[in-house]
Amino acid sequence: MYALKKLSWDEDEMLANLEDAILHAELKYDCRDLCGLGIDSLNEVEAAIRNSIGILLRAGLSPQQHFRYVFLTDIESGKTFHNWEMSKLGFLLTLLNIQNNNPQFDRLKIEILNRFLQL
């Protein structure tokens, strides 16, 4: 007959894992969502993310609630690359912080701000 082994769970670890899962569920956007909007390079996006994280820190908010650095693997090629997952606030903050010379992208920023002002 087989003996059952009771696993001991650390309560703090369980709560930390639950909190992490809840935060992760809110990160619905990523860098790839910005690629079709006229972004020339991921360096622009990463600079905007760093700036956005700085803004959150200065505002007394936790960047972990809005940004997560992840590694992804392409199954076909086996190559690993990094990506950023973002909350809606993190995504919009990043979008507004991207510095480029694309008039279409600048119009998108103005449209976002106009929609906010109409609320």
User: How do the pLDDT tens digits run along the chain, 119 residues long?
Assistant: 566 666 566 777 777 777 777 777 788 888 877 877 777 788 888 999 999 999 999 999 999 999 999 998 888 999 998 889 999 999 999 999 998 888 888 888 899 899 989 97
- The domain spans of the chain are 17-117
Report d(CA 83, CA 46) in Å as an integer: 10
For the entire predicted model, the pTM comes to 0.76
Angle at CA 58, nearest 5°, toward 25 and 110?
Answer: 70
Residue 15 three-state SS: helix
